[in-house]
Structure 1
Amino acid sequence: MVRVEKTKTRKGKRVLDDRAPKTIENDKKALFLKGNKTNEIINHAMMDLYDLKKPLAAKMDRHNPFHLFEDETVIERWGSKFDASLFVMGSNSKKRPNLLTFGRLHDGQLLDMAELRITAYQSASNFEVSKMTLGSKPCVVLEGSEFESDPDMKRIGNLFVDWFRGPTVSKVRLEGLETVIVFTAGKDEVLMRVYRTQLKKSSTATPRVELLEMGPSLNFALMRRKLADTSLFKEACKKPAALIAKRRKNLSEDVFGNQLARVHLGKQNTDAIQTRKVKALRDTPLVDDNEAEEDHGSDDEPMESD
């Protein structure tokens, strides 16, 4: 049974209108949760991830006895309450130490979820590099053949891109690209590194780009995962009909984004084309062959003398 939310205030009505389905959805917000128990590593790691996601993030400080792989309705209810389609929950126990569970929701239900165990961690405070500007859009890079060959790793890589891509923008200028987040896949492990870009002078118009690690630095071991089936994932990736560009006839695009068009012209009458009036292009009268011979013969007759 779907609960119909009603409000009596204008502010509440604006909130419901903002959460209503749209052709172009709002930027995805992440919800940070703590499990029943956490430790210093989990708290600092979640704080570093929270700094990367601000302002599209909401952090809960209380501990919650959630077991997401046993009961997923809890995170679905919290995602609907805080209008967040992304979430991460940190927990620590004797059997499962230093765990971060990343996940995402679609249409109010769980789509993908992956449990990662932190095997190595360096906080962003250990790197003496200027940090990420609030609200900037990072560049997310996936390295490793596992992101292409393994179906589960391919879905987890898509989860990371969806989680860290930041706000949706139409264009990004070179000076505005400040942060690069790199995920390197190995056998049952993922390495996360965050870099700060620096533009240096070069002999060409394009500057030389250098990367300085600014943290956090995390090594993850893949534990449990819960991924959506193919039909649900295709439904989540489906675009509204209003956003699908209509295909124009005889118009194509190459790999560089250049548009190539084919134009069909009818038969042209070249006789009616106005050309430049030059002596060589003027029409000369046609002369009959007999008349030409008579004229030639008259020239050969000797002239009579008086």
Structure 2
Amino acid sequence: MSDQEETTHRGAKTHKGKRILESREPKLVEGPKQTLFIRGPKTSLSVRQLAHEWHMLKRDFSITYNKNHEIQPFEDTKQLETFCDRSQCSMFCFVSNSKKRPDNLIIGRTFDKKILDMVELHLKEFKSQEEFNASIEIPMHSRPLIIFNGEVFGFNANHMKLHNLLTDFFFENVPILDIKQSDINLIISITATDDSTLAITILQKQIQEDGIKVQEIGPRSVFEIRRTKWAEDDIFKKACRQPKPKAKPHEKNVVYDEIGDKRGKVFVQQQDLSTLALKKRKKLRKGDQKLKARIQNSDQNQEANNEE
């Protein structure tokens, strides 16, 4: 079966397969967002390097395909949706290069195994991490601080949707109970100077003797916004809808004391004594056959006397 053919979802045949399918079902509380990095039929060195460095920043929650694939997301989304569903990724980053659209990069997301929205960007300027003289030390599961610069994100409808998409792309949805200032090590700065230009810069916080210093570590990229495909309002509302959690049933006859221990009353039904198992008489053993015959003879004699 080729990748372009539609996959049929079969039921689980084992308990392990059932657990896997249940883990893929929609949940009330979402887990970390996975991102799929995939290449088109042809790619340039700059977009490949940018995708690789973004993948390393999101290395804990991202998957990359190193082979080239004949995919055109804005013309046919079926194969890309199949790859995202197979890899269990809700976000994707597609890179390609062609004569008509050189240094092309597409960022998008899926909902209900379908493409929800995506934006196509042209990489105009790029500076990799190797060109920065900085020591890159990003701890595992580091929550990035995302900063949006530019008034256009506040009133332009297209950029407001782009703001939501880029936040979803770089925000990994890792649950953190308490965020401390010392835990923020990575800063992602997104700047929009006009309606068609977008710049994304990666910075790192470093603690030095004279104080805290913010240093650019790369990659630095400047894009030109090309095509966009946004979800319809009703589908977008459905994707953002959060169901109400199920209320726990009220526990009857349960109280908690001052220490916090759980105390409860247990009611037992009245026992039916007619079904009570009583002690049964022991059976006669083989050595008591004479006693058994003697008892039978005495019973017969008593019956004969009663008849007379």
Q: TM-score range with shorter-chain normalisation?
A: 0.7 to 0.9
2:232 is aligned, of 229, 233, 237, to 229
Deviates further, 124-133 or 81-90: 124-133
Deviates further, 70-79 or 89-98: 70-79
* Match in the other structure for 1:194: 202
1:203-282 to structure 2, matched below 5 A, reads 209-242=212-245
Unpaired stretches in structure 2, ≥5 consecutive residues: 1-5, 248-308
TM-score (norm 1): 0.73
TM-align CA RMSD: 2.1
* Match in the other structure for 2:40: 35
* Match in the other structure for 1:134: 140
* Match in the other structure for 1:78: 83
Q: Tell me the secondary structure at the aligned position of residue 60 of structure 2.
A: coil
Does structure 1 residue 121 correspond to structure 2 residue 126?
yes
Deviation at residue 79 of structure 1 after TM alignment: 1.4
Structure 2: how far apart are the matches of 1:75 and 1:217? 27
Percent of aligned pairs sharing the same letter:
28
* Match in the other structure for 2:262: none
* Match in the other structure for 2:181: 174
Query: For residues 154-212 of structure 1, what are the alpha-carbon distances to aligned partners after superposition, in whole Å with 9 as ceiling and x for unaligned?
Result: 1011111100012232322221110000100122011001110124578xxxxx54311
Counterpart contact for 1:129–1:212, Cα < 8 Å: no
The alpha-carbon distance between structure 1 residues 172 and 201, as it changes in their structure 2 partners (threshold 3 A), is: farther
Q: Tell me the secondary structure at the aligned position of residue 38 of structure 1.
A: coil
Structure 1: how far apart are the matches of 2:130 and 2:177? 32
The alpha-carbon distance between structure 1 residues 193 and 239, as it changes in their structure 2 partners (threshold 3 A), is: same
Amino acid at match of 2:104: L
* Match in the other structure for 1:264: none
Counterpart contact for 1:146–1:185, Cα < 8 Å: yes
Counterpart contact for 1:32–1:88, Cα < 8 Å: yes
Does structure 1 residue 160 correspond to structure 2 residue 170?
no
Deviation at residue 217 of structure 1 after TM alignment: 0.4
Counterpart contact for 1:54–1:134, Cα < 8 Å: no
Counterpart contact for 1:23–1:243, Cα < 8 Å: no
Deviation at residue 145 of structure 1 after TM alignment: 0.8
Structure 2: how far apart are the matches of 1:148 and 1:168? 28
1:98-117 to structure 2, matched below 5 A, reads 98-117=103-122
1:21 is aligned, of 9, 26, 32, to 26
TM-score (norm 2): 0.73
* Match in the other structure for 1:275: none
* Match in the other structure for 2:93: 88
